[in-house]
Amino acid sequence: MTETESREARTAKLEGLGTKRKRVEDARFTQGKGNYVDDIRLPGMLFGDFVRSPYGHARIKSIDASAALALPGVKAVLTAADLKPLKLHYMPTLAGDVQAVLADEKVLFQNQEVAFVVAEDRYIAADAVELVEVEYEELPALVDPFKAMDADAPVLREDLAGKTEGAHGPRRHHNHIFTWEVGDAGGTQAAIDGAEVVAKEMISYQRVHPCPLETCGCVASMDKVNEHLTLWGTFQAPHAVRTVASLITGIPEHKIRIVSPDIGGGFGNKVGVYPGYICAAVASIVLGVPVKWIEDRMENLSTTAFARDYHMTGEIAATRDGRITGLKCHVLADHGAFDACADPTKFPAGFFNICTGSYDIPVAHLVVDGVYTNKAPGGVAYRCSFRVTEASYFIERMVDVLARKLEMDPAELRRKNFIDKAQFPYTSALGWEYDSGDYHTAFDKALAAVDYQGLRAEQAANRQAFARGDTRSLMGIGVAFFTEIVGAGPVKNCDILGLGMFDSCEIRIHPTGSAIARLGTISQGQGHATTFAQILASEIGIPASQITVEEGDTDTAPYGLGTYGSRSTPVAGAATAMAGRKIRAKAQMIAAWLLEVHEGDLEWDVDRFVVKGAPERFKTMAELAFAAYNNVPPGMEPGLEAVSYYDPPNMTYPFGAYICVVDVDADTGVTQVRRFYALDDCGTRINPMIIEGQVHGGLTEALAIAMGQEISYDELGNVHGASLMDFFLPTAVETPAWETDFTETPSPHHPIGAKGVGESPNVGGVSAFSNAVNDAFAHLGLTHTQMPHDHWRVWKTAERLGVAEA
Ligand code: PCD
Ligand SMILES: [Cu+]
């Protein structure tokens, strides 16, 4: 029983925490062998497609489906009238509102679902959609959220007539959804009234869309004989979908199986429940054959979820030497036609109350008003945990605006107001308890890495050259520091439709020492099969390559709340470590039995239990796995399995320092990102290579949002930006080379100290880009200009400031 391998060699073999392990899922993805929902083809399967509204607001006078039904190959046309007797014409939203599955008497946004055509294939379905005759009476459209609560604003939600109580408190107008207030109103006003300096600004974060490469879709298959419904689909939260499906269809939950196969990017888009899922399920129940529904790109961009659309007015108070003394914020939140925001129940504006950011602000007050407009519903967390990118953008712009007013360097102002390392755990003025942080160290590392002083000197020279007429290019430096809040979350304050937001992991060790772990989360490209195996490898001493990670099938996976809000690592990752520790505890008892010592006389060493003081006496995990099946202590059950349902005691608070350098051509508005440096601190790093990939992806989405993405509406309610002709999706050509860096401040409450990271680059990135563009014009008197900073808008800014050549 002697072993010559060193501890280092044995550790390396595990490919555990901190290893740049190659992604195991990429073998199938890079060979085109992934299995996405549209790859599912079942015998006799039909295809469903929607008839959609051309109007933003209109009354439906009649629907005539006879011509469509006469087309060979068409099997059914569903309308609200068909769903009504089943009580399925409306469905509950995640935000406590209801949403029309098929428009009931009225349409409330362009491209809203009006009828569902089911045919033999998608081509016949598309032809039939054209044959459905809908007669509309156009109504005035409401697109400006600032006019939503005017006395004479059109009534949008007739189904809510007379309802003065919403899911989040009283409603004071027919287009009002909720008002959410947090913080100290009086104290904040006093701080502002008594302040030496106050900066005020209205900051809009435009409506955008996550636009994953794969659109949303599902296959519903009702087995009438066994009364069993299977639904494959693009679901970021498969178990929650099962529970909701059971509640709204009345099919018992054990007769429903939800499967999320490979998913081609989620980014929050696939958290919600959409009419297509319900219609496909109803059609399959009615027709008794499988029905597939897959959106096209325009349907995805214009109907299934949007993100942001927050209009944030802030006042920030400070002393003349730059100590922030108070923060006030009012948000007008445009939720579109139905409140389908994907947020934990008690947070109608998500975690927007993280808007005091990374700064020690003594007093703050926040009011959010949600309103209805004639736009698509949604409000998803497009790569940011529940409205955190909005909050971070708000505070990071406000701090820059304040710096301008104080004529102080924005980096210096930030440094001066950071929460100090010694203050953690830190309770913010709006009520969050930040678990850990070391902002000064991270920030100083970032400033040194880019030679911040050197950049400012170069910028001063550039401005002189510009004034002399030697260059037409303006240099901008964007500094951003963010604190994310991820890992929803403690069941005591986070639930979705009453389901507490814990997560889970179940592990089975096979006799030969390999294992399978199943989780309540679901990867959409993040690489969970790679990283969760790494957590386990370090916990139980079985090489990651011998651990299969499986997610997404509700028949096999333990109950969990899914993957979004960067919660998988903080919650399911913690469950994985805890389940691993249970395995190890049982293995220790078996080892003690086999080695004939007391349990307490054993110590864990990488992949084995060793008798203290007798290193030649040990049992490896592989040996213990086999013993678990044939030689366990008397009275112990055989086998080696464990499950953990983990309710985190707190969220985790990753943070980071991002610096962006842009060159702006004053005559064309063309911006060139010269340099982008991103330092992230996500606590213990599981897989540095995956983290780097996550940061690259998130920064690319941040670039997209800051520099071009927008879903806008004209005054008639026509949606613009609903195709990739005008919705900006950066390719390698527009994407700069990213520089990444890190510090490592573990979470004190997470079993392995890890925090989330997937969303961070978006949260910090958008502010860094926008601050850079604003900074390029700062010396000309600009305090704030609205995103997206596309060439046209940037050129308009230059023109307004009198520096663009006509
Ligand atoms: N410390 C640490 C952390 C983390 N990690 C890693 O990284 C990743 C991530 O994580 P997280 O942060 O935890 O997250 P998750 O939960 O997993 O996921 C989610 C996210 O994720 C991101 N990323 C991504 N990627 C990809 N590829 N795809 C996708 O879709 C996506 N999405 C996005 C989003 S948007 Mo939301 O939904 O909006 O709310 S949220 C989100 C994984 O793998 C993990 O493991 C590591 O390594 N370490
Ligand atoms: Cu968000």
Ligand 1 within 6 A of CB of 761:
no
Mean of all residue pLDDT scores within the chain: 97
Ligand 1 within 6 A of CB of 694:
yes
Ligand 1 within 6 A of CB of 476:
no
Cis bond upstream, residue 186 (ω within 30): no
State both tokens at 278: 């319900």
CA atoms within 13 A on the CB side of 235: 31
Ligand 1 within 6 A of CB of 697:
yes
Percent of all residues in the chain with a pLDDT value above 90, rounded to a whole number = 98
Residues 6+ apart with CB under 8 A from 525: 263, 264, 265, 266
Q: Which ligand 1 atom is the nearest neighbour of the CA of 527?
A: 43
Is 52 known to be catalytic? Answer: no
Ligand 1 within 6 A of CB of 388:
no
Mean pLDDT on 86-102: 95
State both tokens at 198: 């106050």
Q: Are 257 and 554 in contact (CB under 8 A)?
A: yes
Is 236 known to be catalytic? Answer: yes
Give the per-residue pLDDT at 385. Answer: 85
Checking phi first, is residue 94 left (phi over 0); if not, alpha (psi -120 to 50) or beta? alpha
Backbone Cα Rg of the chain? 28
Distance in angstroms (rounded) separating the CA atoms of residues 390 and 370: 15
Give the per-residue pLDDT at 641. Answer: 98
The residue whose CA is least distant from atom 23 of ligand 1 is: 758
Ligand 1 centroid to Cα of residue 298, in Å, is 26
Ligand 2 centroid to Cα of residue 455, in Å, is 32
Does the pLDDT value for residue 526 go beyond 70?
yes
Give tens-digit pLDDT for 613-665: 999 999 999 999 999 999 999 999 999 999 999 999 999 999 999 999 999 99
Does the pLDDT value for residue 806 go beyond 80?
no
Cis bond upstream, residue 788 (ω within 30): yes
Cis bond upstream, residue 140 (ω within 30): no
Contacts of 597-604 with CB under 8 Å at 24 or more apart are 604/541
Give the per-residue pLDDT at 3. Answer: 56
Question: Which of 201, 506, 692, 759 is labelled catalytic?
Answer: 759
Question: Which of 329, 384, 505, 660 is labelled catalytic?
Answer: 384
Q: Are 485 and 755 in contact (CB under 8 A)?
A: no
Does the pLDDT value for residue 241 go beyond 80?
yes
Ligand 1 within 6 A of CB of 157:
no
CA distances (Å), origin 164, targets 160, 190, 420: 9, 32, 45
Q: What is the biggest distance separating any 2 CA atoms in the chain, rounded to whole angstroms?
A: 90
Q: What DSSP state is assigned to residue 637?
A: P
Q: Are 386 and 450 in contact (CB under 8 A)?
A: no
pTM for the whole structure: 0.97
Does the pLDDT value for residue 1 go beyond 50?
no
Give tens-digit pLDDT for 702-728: 999 999 999 999 999 999 999 999 999
The residue whose CA is least distant from atom 27 of ligand 1 is: 525
CA atoms within 13 A on the CB side of 381: 31
The residue whose CA is least distant from atom 17 of ligand 1 is: 568
Instruction: Outline where DSSP puts E strands in 510-607.
Output: 515-519, 547-551, 602-605
Mean pLDDT on 46-61: 98
Is 384 known to be catalytic? Answer: yes
Does the pLDDT value for residue 610 go beyond 50?
yes
The distance in angstroms from the start CA to the end CA of the chain is 84
Does the pLDDT value for residue 2 go beyond 80?
no
The residue whose CA is least distant from atom 14 of ligand 1 is: 566
State both tokens at 226: 């066994």
Ligand 2 centroid to Cα of residue 384, in Å, is 4
CA distances (Å), origin 676, targets 204, 530, 791: 23, 28, 19
Ligand 2 centroid to Cα of residue 308, in Å, is 7
Place of tokens 């890079």: 30
Distance in angstroms (rounded) separating the CA atoms of residues 91 and 275: 8
ipTM: 0.99
State both tokens at 336: 């579109």
Ligand 1 within 6 A of CB of 526:
yes
Does the pLDDT value for residue 77 go beyond 50?
yes
The model's confidence at residue 805, banded by pLDDT at 50, 70 and 90, is confident
Q: Are 329 and 394 in contact (CB under 8 A)?
A: yes
Q: Which ligand 1 atom is the nearest neighbour of the CA of 265?
A: 30
